[in-house]
Structure 1
Amino acid sequence: MAFFGSSLASRSSLFLRLTYLDALKTLAPVEVQFAALPILLLLLWTLASIVLVLWSRSRQPGNSTPSPTVANSTGIVKVSVSTKVIGLSSGRIRSEQHRLVERRDSRLGVNLAVTMILLIPCVLLLLGHVRLICAIHDGYHAAERSILQSSDSTDLLDVFQVYQPVTFAPQGDNGCDLDLLLMEHVFGASYGEPFVGTYEPPSCKFDTVQINMTVTSRGRQYDRLALMYLGDAEVFRTSTAEPTSTGIVWTYIKEMSQYNALWQQQQKLIFDLGNIITDVYTGSFNVTLTAHFSYTKNARTADVILPISAKQSASNSSSAFTVPSDNTTVSYTIPAAASRAVVAISACGQSQEEFWWSNVFSEDTEDFTDTVGELYGYSPFREIQLYIDGILAGVVWPFPIIFTGGVAPGFWRPIVGIDAFDLRQPEIDISPFLPLLQDGREHSFEIRVTGLNITADGTATLAGTVGSYWIITGNIFLYTDDETSSKDLISHKSTFPLVDAPAPKFTVTRHLVPSKIGGNDTLSYSVTAERTFIVSSAKYSWSQKLSFSNYGSLNQQGYSQVNKQLTSGKVAITELGDKPTSSETTFSYPLLVNATYGITSNSLTIDAWMKRGLEIDSSGGPGISTYTLVSGPSQLHTTQSGKAQYKSVTGASSISWGNTADEFHGTANGEAYSRSVRAVNGSVVYDTQPGTKAVSVHDMTALGRGSVRSMLGRGPGNPASS
């Protein structure tokens, strides 16, 4: 197999050297220093001891004084000494010899004692780092075995997302303990042809549902977006990993009890994973979905779930909106018994909007057309808005998801990006709107996505639209209260909520530097934003306080780009009264990505590094949150960092390698969970999770996305799509 025009042997040698060096790079500097310290000390002291012993022996006197010798004709050596001299001097010589020997032995004893004293801590330090050293060598030898093995290996690379495992609560009395196969399907040429099945609820009592999704794939394929529906309501949004020629497998377990109101009834189950099979893109996705039903006296969940979707289940189709082209408005009559209402929004950018966090102002989209082509506009700021009867009810500033084909694929093997297997659904509490909604009439719900425009005076305003495109759905979770008196309902029906929604505050900068040889050389730009939002009724108050910043720069005529972004905020719902009670959630999404690409007549390279995170601290709220994914208080702090490279040569296979570290700390359902894992060139070289088996290096070729634009959002080629 050709590898950039080199032989398999040279490919193996180069790749193994990269593996070993990258394994060393992933170790913390302190660990490396302590691992080397005992060896260095031991070597230095041993050398010093040897030198001292040799020096002592060189100065050691003999047992007798040397005498002159004379050789006769027979070859026998005759010694001629004066016996009188020997007799007179022998006493003093023997005394001096004894003193020298005692002094030498004393020095050697001290040397030996000190050597033993130093040897003990050295041995302890070495033993303490055996795991570290073994991890390096195991990763190296795993790489060696994998590179040299034949290409028809049946081993599957186990890819995974680092997340807090879903706990299975003890079984309650007289309830379900049942596993049910929901789907087993191969998504080959499945674009526009989702899986459609019928779900029948178990006859036993249940309040807890967890699903196991296991996927295998082999060949070359894009990463794909997948949406699962019960009827018209989206209940799960995930994405695939990019397969290898030898195959991959992953399993994800998801809490689904928040949709109990849907699971209790017969449903049309639709799983939409649009895939395309060609001579080049050969990978199918074999997906198995299994649900576990149990009765655990779980947290209360919504009594009614109303989808904000295109409602296409009757035609066996996906019900997602495509924004900005679709009208996302739906209308419902809200029951008078509703005492609490929450809207969950599922949204992610695709194509021109996949890397929205790296977009530029629309005025700058043609700054580098001669080098990297047209850039995508509307700035790196995005706001998702919920409108009720045309009134702004709340906003979402989205998490910058990076799918497994994004930036450089070498980042995401075998550790996928944060939330890549389970995209969270941020929530907007619309309980303050209930007095407006409970009048027996239909009311409209609409979701919009907007970026920024720059006006003639250089200020920023909401654009009211974005590029193509975002995939959007939502669900309205209603909690009903049968004990709510009609008098209480009537007293609030004529009350409109008080909405305090000042325009967000934006600060923007942009600076374009022309090139001396024509065109432009650099573009620097920044956006900072702040928004507060409060809506109140007689019973509830919902508030949001949000902050955003993005500092971007394109250098080297657009070939190099860096973006540093931070989104943070606090949302709270307060139930008013004599003793007000509040539930609040704070979050932070730091992101730093630097990517440079280069093109020659027959090759393409990408060099990138990134650091990103997700932090959520929540005091909990009603039911099971679609955002925190649990009920009650929870904390989540996770970070990813790494470096990756990509290279493609015309007529040869492309390859991507890199190293990624993932740190996860979380608390949910009263249980704490932590995991630290590092991967180098497809091999797990360090993992704190007990019982984890090291993952071997697999084929780094046969990557899905084949153009710079599909991986970075700029450059030659076409953008990626779902």
Structure 2
Amino acid sequence: MLAFPDQGGHIMRGVSIMSSKGSVRLGPAIAGLFAVLGSMATAHAAAGDPPIGAKGVVVADPAVPRPPGTPCVVELFNDDVFNDFNARPYDYAPPAGCAGRWSKVVLEADFSVTAGRQFDRTATFWLGGVNIYFGTTQEPSATVSPSWHVERDLTDYDALLRNAGKGQAVLGNVVNDTYTGVIHGSARLLFYPASLIAPAAPVPDAVYPLGADPIGNTATLNTADDKLSKTLTLPRNVVRAYLDVFAQSQSGDEFWYTCVPDQYAAQTEECGGGNFREAEVSIDGQPAGVAPIYPWIYTGGIDPYMWRPTTGVQTLNFMPYRVDLTPFAGQLSDGSPHEVAVSVAGAHGYFSATAALLVYRDPHAKQVVGRVTRNTLAGQAPTPTIGDTLVTDGSGNLSGDITTELTRQFVIEGYTTSSKGRVESSVTETVGFDDTQSFVINANTFHQISAQVTSVDSVSRSRIGPLLTVESRQQASYPLRVDYNQTLATDGSLSAASTVHQGLTSHAERRWLGFPTYAADLSNTVDTGDTLNFDASGALTSHTGQHSTQGYRFSDSYGSCYRVDLATDSGALSSYASGAGCPGGQNRVWWIAHSDGSPDSRNLQVLW
């Protein structure tokens, strides 16, 4: 198989391109009340539409919506220079001017990288061992110095932010005569005081980081047996628990979605290890939940020109997946130490992982008792079914498909006896993975299509006695299609044409006594393509046909509506439409909404 470097130094073989990150450790009545409160608030006003022709970073993603009022601002760091692999420490103290309760807390960060040559880099921010930002950076070009802005809703981490602590920014970067791009970054926290029209958020009572670093860093999970874990002795009155999980593919796993089972690797000229990945959560070694792996593609991935100026889905700003562990609340409250752990099924060197445990306590009981009564996830190993239709002719020509499929359905049930009586909780979930790798390989062609869909359908229920009190539903789908077609001409030159479709759709719904009280829908899709052209020596001579589109949609039953569509051509913004299809042609998102796709604690409340 031909191998050649792109302008950023990535080595391409088939679809697999190794980026630099791999070599470094690098979210009825009650609904009516909220609707009224939302109508009194103002949506966070986004900056004006970007200019046509923009070449830096342009994405359709919304800002975090804000409540009314003036926030207190706490600066974490300002214009730090990231030109090595040393962490940048900072001290944090809660805002003295907003000492009461908060309706919302938002992280804002601004990045830039100087024009030149540089890899995409992983960036993480930490406080007291807890991750407060996780993402990657845009690659520059010889003439473009991109800058970008990211935000994360940190309201659910209220308990962490109440106390002073140590934090650090980790953004490893190499700057030398070859890799010249210098990254700059600034970050701050905005605290919005609670008020009558923007009441305090119903936040968890405590936040516990997994991992051993007291300030914060990711763990490296090279194989499925490796785990990120922490043994905790929790308060004895836990009534609900959730785990926010990040699992980022790195190194040989960066392009896991193009890999094939080991038995096919040689003949397809692809990475081995298969392409099923899933985060597994356990408590005391017992399966407790799963978190699907999103196939993030970084700005140096496959063909760097495809991601200028519009990046892939969540590339610059990852969102955690929240796993409901409430059926284990009684077990976690027994006063004994318990191990909470995350591993990645299929990990093949490696995944960079972090997680935070969020717990709610019974304020009227010192002791909660209970246990897990049913767990059908235990005993269901995450082992996919593999099939193929590959055909070879004996002379190195190959065509056909490799399929990978896995569907699991499980129920986990438990109860707690608290000041409200016996509360029964359950999580019912169906998770699916469906992948087809199609190949045509001969003397002149390497053509691979990777088409997959990861899906999850989860229902959390809590009951008091025979009455269904509250139900939260979450559906998500992660479609991905990568088409890579490398063709060798008679003069020895070659072209590598790539197209990518990447998406994220989700539906959240909340019910009280069986009646729907809230619903939200989100869709984020990116389609992009480009062709790299190389001479007979393997040197890149040009690229042609760069184009991309992104469409972002959010709506909810409170009347929120956000729609942005953009298109790029030849590395520049060619069209941008905002608000089309929303009432009055204007985007309007209530401040309590999670239009960015972050986990929403308000959608989990049980009011006890």
Q: Same fold (TM over 0.5)?
A: yes
What do residues 671-716 of structure 1 show as CA deviations (whole Å, max 9, x unaligned)? 210011111112211111279xxxxxxxxxxxxxxxxxxxxxxxxx
CA distance in 1, matches of 2:384, 2:68: 51
Is it true that 1:211 corresponds to 2:110 in the alignment? no
Residues 218 and 353 in structure 2, CA contact (< 8 A), matched pair in contact too? no
CA distance in 1, matches of 2:544, 2:219: 33
Find the counterpart in structure 1 of residue 39 from structure 2: none
CA root-mean-square deviation? 2.7
1:513-524 to 2 correspondences below 5 Å: 513-516=391-394, 518-524=395-401
> Which residue of 365, 390, 399 maps to 1:512?
390
Q: Which amino acid aligns with 2:233?
A: T
Residues 484 and 499 in structure 2, CA contact (< 8 A), matched pair in contact too? yes
CA distance in 1, matches of 2:505, 2:165: 35
1:453-468 to 2 correspondences below 5 Å: 466-468=347-349
SS of structure 2 residue aligned to 1:468: strand
| 1:522 positional shift | 2.8
Residues 259 and 273 in structure 2, CA contact (< 8 A), matched pair in contact too? yes
Q: 1:178 to 1:536 in 2, by over 3 A?
A: same
1:434-453 to 2 correspondences below 5 Å: 434-451=329-346
Percent of matched pairs sharing the same residue: 23
What do residues 290-325 of structure 1 show as CA deviations (whole Å, max 9, x unaligned)? 222221324211111111123253xxx734344338
Find the counterpart in structure 1 of residue 253 from structure 2: 353
Q: Structure 1 regions of 5+ residues with no counterpart?
A: 1-137, 143-155, 452-465, 623-630, 692-722
| 1:435 positional shift | 1.6
Q: Which amino acid aligns with 2:78?
A: E
CA distance in 1, matches of 2:402, 2:267: 13
| 1:198 positional shift | 0.6
Q: 1:162 to 1:298 in 2, by over 3 A?
A: farther
Find the counterpart in structure 2 of residue 338 from structure 1: 238
Q: Which amino acid aligns with 2:474?
A: T
> Which residue of 87, 93, 96 maps to 1:200?
93
| 1:670 positional shift | 4.8
CA distance in 1, matches of 2:201, 2:334: 29
What do residues 614-637 of structure 1 show as CA deviations (whole Å, max 9, x unaligned)? 111112599xxxxxxxx9743101
| 1:286 positional shift | 0.7
Find the counterpart in structure 1 of residue 454 from structure 2: 567
SS of structure 1 residue aligned to 2:305: helix
CA distance in 1, matches of 2:158, 2:545: 43
Residues 160 and 251 in structure 1, CA contact (< 8 A), matched pair in contact too? no
> Which residue of 550, 560, 572 maps to 1:683?
572
CA distance in 2, matches of 1:222, 1:602: 28
Find the counterpart in structure 2 of residue 80 from structure 1: none
Structure exhibiting the larger radius of gyration computed from Cα positions: 1
| 1:646 positional shift | 2.3
> Which residue of 273, 277, 285 maps to 2:183?
285
Residues 410 and 656 in structure 1, CA contact (< 8 A), matched pair in contact too? no
Residues 277 and 284 in structure 1, CA contact (< 8 A), matched pair in contact too? yes
- Equivalenced residues, count: 498
Find the counterpart in structure 1 of residue 527 from structure 2: 641
CA distance in 1, matches of 2:308, 2:113: 14
What do residues 495-554 of structure 1 show as CA deviations (whole Å, max 9, x unaligned)? 3431112526743212333344x3352352001211012110132101211122111112
SS of structure 2 residue aligned to 1:420: coil
Q: Which amino acid aligns with 2:228?
A: T
CA distance in 2, matches of 1:575, 1:485: 21
Residues 221 and 343 in structure 2, CA contact (< 8 A), matched pair in contact too? no
Find the counterpart in structure 2 of residue 388 from structure 1: 283
Find the counterpart in structure 1 of residue 84 from structure 2: 190
Q: 1:413 to 1:657 in 2, by over 3 A?
A: farther
Q: Which amino acid aligns with 1:307?
A: P
Find the counterpart in structure 2 of residue 469 from structure 1: 350
SS of structure 1 residue aligned to 2:207: strand
Q: 1:654 to 1:279 in 2, by over 3 A?
A: farther
What do residues 52-84 of structure 1 show as CA deviations (whole Å, max 9, x unaligned)? xxxxxxxxxxxxxxxxxxxxxxxxxxxxxxxxx
| 1:349 positional shift | 0.8
1:370-381 to 2 correspondences below 5 Å: 372=269, 375-381=270-276
Q: 1:443 to 1:485 in 2, by over 3 A?
A: closer
What do residues 228-276 of structure 1 show as CA deviations (whole Å, max 9, x unaligned)? 1112111211110111223111112222212111111112121111111
Is it true that 1:432 corresponds to 2:327 in the alignment? yes
Residues 646 and 654 in structure 1, CA contact (< 8 A), matched pair in contact too? yes
Find the counterpart in structure 2 of residue 527 from structure 1: 404
Find the counterpart in structure 2 of residue 555 from structure 1: 440
> Which residue of 145, 155, 163 maps to 1:257?
155
Residues 243 and 357 in structure 2, CA contact (< 8 A), matched pair in contact too? yes
> Which residue of 461, 481, 487 maps to 1:592?
481
- After TM superposition, the score normalised by the length of structure 1 is 0.65
Q: Which amino acid aligns with 1:320?
A: A
SS of structure 1 residue aligned to 2:331: helix
* Higher fraction of strand: 2
| 1:599 positional shift | 6.3
Q: Which amino acid aligns with 2:471?
A: S
| 1:572 positional shift | 1.4
Q: Which amino acid aligns with 2:504?
A: L
Q: 1:523 to 1:278 in 2, by over 3 A?
A: farther
* Higher fraction of helix: 1
Residues 309 and 321 in structure 1, CA contact (< 8 A), matched pair in contact too? no
What do residues 83-127 of structure 1 show as CA deviations (whole Å, max 9, x unaligned)? xxxxxxxxxxxxxxxxxxxxxxxxxxxxxxxxxxxxxxxxxxxxx
Find the counterpart in structure 1 of residue 292 from structure 2: 397
Q: Structure 2 regions of 5+ residues with no counterpart?
A: 1-50, 416-423, 581-608
Find the counterpart in structure 2 of residue 241 from structure 1: 138
Residues 161 and 421 in structure 1, CA contact (< 8 A), matched pair in contact too? no
Find the counterpart in structure 1 of residue 43 from structure 2: none
Find the counterpart in structure 2 of residue 222 from structure 1: 119
Q: Which amino acid aligns with 1:215?
A: F
CA distance in 2, matches of 1:395, 1:195: 33
Q: 1:690 to 1:576 in 2, by over 3 A?
A: closer
SS of structure 1 residue aligned to 2:234: coil
CA distance in 2, matches of 1:689, 1:338: 44
Q: 1:323 to 1:651 in 2, by over 3 A?
A: closer
Residues 408 and 430 in structure 2, CA contact (< 8 A), matched pair in contact too? yes
CA distance in 2, matches of 1:262, 1:681: 45
Find the counterpart in structure 2 of residue 543 from structure 1: 428
| 1:563 positional shift | 1.2
CA distance in 2, matches of 1:599, 1:194: 45
